[in-house]
Every structure is written in C-alpha cells, then in structure tokens.
Amino acid sequence: MRIFLAIYLFVVVATLSILGFRGSTSTKPPLEVFPDMDRQARYKPQAENEFFADGRNDRLSPAGTVARGNYFNQQEVFSEDFEDTRLGDTTFLEGKNEDGSFVEKLPIEVTYELIEQGKEKYDIFCAVCHGAAGDGNGVTKPYGVLATNYHDDRLRNEADGYIFDVITNGKGLMLPLNDRITPEERWAIVLYVRALQKSQNTVAEEGI
C-alpha cells in the first residue's frame, strides 16, 4: 500500500508539473481532437490554398476586368433587374468630372446620416494622424507622422473631389485608403471634413 501511495503521489505531482494549470500561456497550438473536422477542406477567407501558385485563397480580379458588384452587394448584383448605375460613374467613384477636373460639390445627397457616417469613419481612419479636430495633431504626431492641418485657405478652397481623390489615392506621404473605405464612405468623410473646416472658420455673425 505504501508503494501504491508513493506511485500515486508521484503520478499526481508529475501530471501537475508537466501539464501545469489552466490559463498559463503557451506557444503550443491548442489540441484538436478531430483535426479533419476542425479544419475542413473548403475555401475560407484569407486562408492558404496550395492550388494556386501564390498559395492564396483570395484571388485578385484578373487584369483588364471590371468588378461587377462585390461581396457586400452580390445579392443585389445577381438579382434579375439589377442595373449597375455606378459603373463608369467617375464623378462618384473617382471624384472627377469627365474632363479630369475635380468634382466641385458632393455628388450624393447630404443627409444627417451621411455626416454621422462620415464622423464614424473619420474617427477610425483619419483622426489617428489628422486629429479629431482636423488640425493635424493626431496620436501619431509624437512618433513622427506629418499630417496636414485642414484649417488653411488652400484646403478650404479645394474642390470636394480633391479631398475624395486624396483619400482614394493618397498624397505625398499619405498612402491610399481605397482598400478600406468605400466610395460612399469617402464622400461621407469629405462632408465631415467640410464640417470640421466650418467649425474652425465661422464668424459669429455669419451663423450656419
């Protein structure tokens, strides 16, 4: 019995010292009892795929093609009476008129929801560098990011399409954001930037 108890105690201590306790960090991947169920053979976003030469599941559009709709509106795109009103609409998609000049005014209807959306997206994507007030004092400034202050005459007098174009394609040190912000959201941000400019450049008599 003594021998049994000694072995028993040894096994318990050994298990505890090898397996440790819950919540301790480890770099070892979690145990999967049925790996073929946990990782089934199917297409998953941002996953690996040996079939393609570059090993990626996500495919880029082939060269020379134009995407008709995307992940977010595919239901609509594949419906019977779908008409792509945005296709080739440079005013909306690029902020440029047909002659290549910038669109002067927002090409979509201004609503309260739009400016709310603009604020939301501005605070996510722009405020980091340009600051919540658009004065170029974002949190990244102490780390060496040089961001434009919106409150000067040059930017106040630029066309709306110009701001849209900067968000879309970047400018100077600023990289393009068109992979993260949809055209409609970009217009919403343009509207909000205009509101920010107005907020810092209005005399009391002028009113709103």
Partner 1 sequence: MANVFPKWVNTIPIKVIIAIVLIKTAVVLGVTYYATPKYTRVGYAPTQPVAFSHALHAGQLEIDCRYCHTYVDRSEHSNVPGSNVCMTCHSMVRKDDPLLAPVRESYESGEPIPWVRVHKTPDYVYFNHSVHVNRGISCVECHGRVDEMEVVEHTKSFSMSFCLECHRNPEEYIRPTEEVYNLDWERPQGADAEAEFEGFVHDWGVNPPQSCSGCHR
Report the nearest approach of partner 1 to the CB of residue 97 (Å). Answer: 29
Closer residue to partner 1 in complex, CB, 87/170: 170
Token duo for residue 41:
């053979």
C-alpha distances out from residue 32 to 28, 38, 39, 144, Å? 12, 7, 9, 45
Instruction: Assess contact for 150 and 193: CB atoms under 8 A.
Output: yes
Q: Which amino acid is at 31?
A: L
Report the nearest approach of partner 1 to the CB of residue 34 (Å). Answer: 8
Report the nearest approach of partner 1 to the CB of residue 169 (Å). Answer: 13
Q: Which distant-in-sequence residues (6+ apart) come within 8 Å of 153 by Cβ? A: none
Closer residue to partner 1 in complex, CB, 29/207: 29
Q: What is the DSSP string of 138-181?
A: -TTGGGT-----S-SHHHHHS-HHHHHHHHHH-BTTBPP-TTTS
Report the nearest approach of partner 1 to the CB of residue 124 (Å). Answer: 4
Closer residue to partner 1 in complex, CB, 120/135: 120
DSSP class of residue 123 equals I
Closer residue to partner 1 in complex, CB, 51/71: 71
Residue numbers at the binding site for partner 1 (CB under 8 A): 1, 4, 8, 11-12, 15, 19, 22-32, 37-40, 42, 44-46, 56, 71-72, 123-125, 128-129, 139-140, 143-146, 173-175, 177, 179-180
